[in-house]
Amino acid sequence: MHLVIIGNGITGVTAAQTVRRLQPAARITLVSDESEHHYSRTALMYVYMGHLRYQDIKPYEDWFWKENRLELVHGTATALDADQHQVQLSTGQTISYDNLLLATGSVSRRAGWPGQDLLGVQGLYGLPDLAQMERDTQGISRGVVVGGGLIGVELAEMLHTRRIAATVLVRDQHYWGSVLPPEEAELVDKQFRQHDVDVRYRTELREILGDTDGRVRAIVTSQGEELPCQWVGLGIGVTPNLSLAQSSTVETDRGILVNELLQTNLPDVYAAGDCAQHRQPGAGEVPIEQLWYTGRMQGETVAHTICGRPTPYRRGVWFNSAKFFNLEYQTYGQVPARTPTDIESFYWQHPTGNCALRINFAPTPMML
Amino acid sequence: MGLRLRQAVCENWIKTQTPIHTVIGRLKTANFDPEFYRRHEPAIQRQFAEILAVKR
Ligand SMILES: Cc1cc2nc3c(=O)[nH]c(=O)nc-3n(C[C@H](O)[C@H](O)[C@H](O)COP(=O)(O)OP(=O)(O)OC[C@H]3O[C@@H](n4cnc5c(N)ncnc54)[C@H](O)[C@@H]3O)c2cc1C
């Protein structure tokens, strides 16, 4: 069996390792265009901040791949021919597969703002973005970050460590308004204040203004205010990377559509991780999961099915974690921004405002 | 926020629909920092008891 995996992120790499374990004789090829070897995307910010070097965020030594007979191809898969069971690469090579896993991840979202293609405007998803940020924030005095979510706060923290003044535009009236209840958002706001980040709530980006060299010089907010800056970070979320999928007859919506076995509509073609959209998500679950640990779980699950042990993907109890400057955050189960009327919410906060605990429960009988 | 809880313990509480009293009473089994709970558990339990008293 020859398994070809497109994408060497956590999803593709977990699938490769699991297949190696379940089927020692399988031939496994990992194709990826971003980096020769797998690295931890979640640790990108620490490289910019100088806490880690690039080689520190590679979880495996470079000999690991050869030792485990995982063939690496550094290139872009440009076309998929499902009838021929073949993938075309940018290197001119064509690879044949028995099974194909699409683990192509996401791309940063862009909202179509005027000026978004100016020099100094970017998202943060991968290594090219990191290099661009490194280059374009050298010696600047002010950056503007658009987006009140997880990437927004990371970008603000990154600028802060380089002593670059940061303004964050947040559409909602509090930070991460779609996810955090107001009390927790207030604790994050305190972190922003303690780190001198200027946060503008209920404020959106209207336009980015450039100078005669095509470089950003200011932005205009939805209130019509012009803020001078030399760099703009877009942190408004990510969307599945469909560039390869769109070269084929694989069915897509926002993501690559899969059933609970992570199978696409094409024979022997699977999709998992950030790029996959579940046709029938479980109750209270989202169709597209853009998380590190769900990528790992999906990669492991799909490997079983590929090895002839059909295994439906079941996420189990929702979990997420993040860090806002010095404040760690963890959540288990459903704790929405607005507590439903039939749910009680117990909230305790330490007097210093440096930690808090919320437990939601059913009132009668009183249980989780 | 600012706390680290054990995933296995929290998941089990949710899956088995554990009574809230039990959870509040056993918070320290979920926490990585026993010192934190030694200092703050009384305050958390007091606040929970006050809320219950108001509801009755
Ligand atoms: C800055 C940042 C911080 C994050 N922090 C957290 C966090 O704290 N916790 C958390 O749970 N999640 C976090 N995430 C999200 C998490 O990193 C992703 O959910 C996860 O990495 C997705 O893994 P994946 O393997 O599905 O995709 P990816 O990691 O995106 O890997 C896909 C790879 O495939 C390559 N590729 C795509 N198309 C092709 C093609 N046609 N040919 C060849 N190669 C191709 C891409 O270049 C990419 O390298 C963060 C994301 C970012 C960007």
Say whether residue B47 is in contact with chain A using an 8 A CB cutoff.
yes
Domains of chain A in start order, with CATH, are 2-107+239-306 (3.50.50.60), 110-236 (3.50.50.60), 320-361 (no CATH)
What pLDDT score does B32 carry?
Answer: 79
Alpha carbon distance, N-terminus to C-terminus of chain B: 29
Strand-strand pairing, A226-228 and A231-234: unpaired
Query: Looking at residue B19, what is its pLDDT?
Result: 94
State how far the Cα of A132 lies from the Cα of A154, in Å rounded to an integer. 16
pLDDT attached to residue B42: 87
pLDDT digits (tens, 9 = 90+) for A318-365: 999 999 999 999 999 999 999 999 999 999 999 888 899 999 999 888
Q: What pLDDT is recorded for position B34?
A: 78
Per-residue pLDDT of B19-47, as tens digits, reads 999 999 998 888 878 788 778 888 899 99
Q: In the numeric block, which tokens belong to residue A156? A: 């603000």
Buried b / exposed e along A212-226 (16+ C-beta atoms within 10 A):
eeeebbbbbbeeeee
Residue nearest (by alpha carbon) to ligand 1 atom 20: A292
Q: Which residues of chain A have pLDDT under 50?
A: none
> Measuring from atom 39 of ligand 1, which residue has the nearest CA?
A104
Say what the pLDDT of residue A39 is.
98
Question: Tell me, what's the ipTM?
Answer: 0.94
Cβ proximity of B6 and A324 under 8 Å:
no
Name the band, by pLDDT with cuts 50, 70 and 90, for residue B51. confident
Binary contact (B24, A333; C-beta < 8 A)? no
> Which mutation among A132, A176, A241, A294 tests ligand 1's pocket best, with the greatest number of atoms within 8 A of CB?
A241
CB pairs < 8 Å spanning A and B: 70
- Alpha-carbon distance of B18 to B41, in angstroms, equals 19
Q: Which chain B residue has the Cα nearest residue A319? A: B7
Burial (CB < 10 A; 0-12, 13-18, 19+), residue A260, is: middle
- pLDDT, one tens digit per residue, over B13-24 is 999 999 999 999
Dist CA A120 CA A234 (whole Å): 11
Best residue for ligand 1 mutational test, from A91, A234, A292, A320 (most atoms within 8 Å of Cβ)? A292
Distance from CA of B46 to the nearest CA of A (A): 10
What confidence tens digit (pLDDT) does each residue in A140-163 have? 999 999 999 999 999 999 999 999
Closest CA to A217 of A141, A164, A146: A141
> What's the confidence (pLDDT) of residue B56?
57
User: What does the pLDDT read at residue A325?
Assistant: 96
CA distance A313 to A301: 6
Q: What is the pLDDT of residues A111-141, one digit of tens each?
A: 899 999 999 999 999 999 999 999 999 999 9
Query: Phi and psi for A145 in degrees, rounded to 5?
Result: -110, 130
All residues of chain B having their beta carbon less than 8 Å from the beta carbon of residue A332 are: 5, 7, 10-11, 14
Quick check: A187 contacting B, CB < 8 Å?
Answer: yes
Q: Residue B55's pLDDT is what?
A: 65
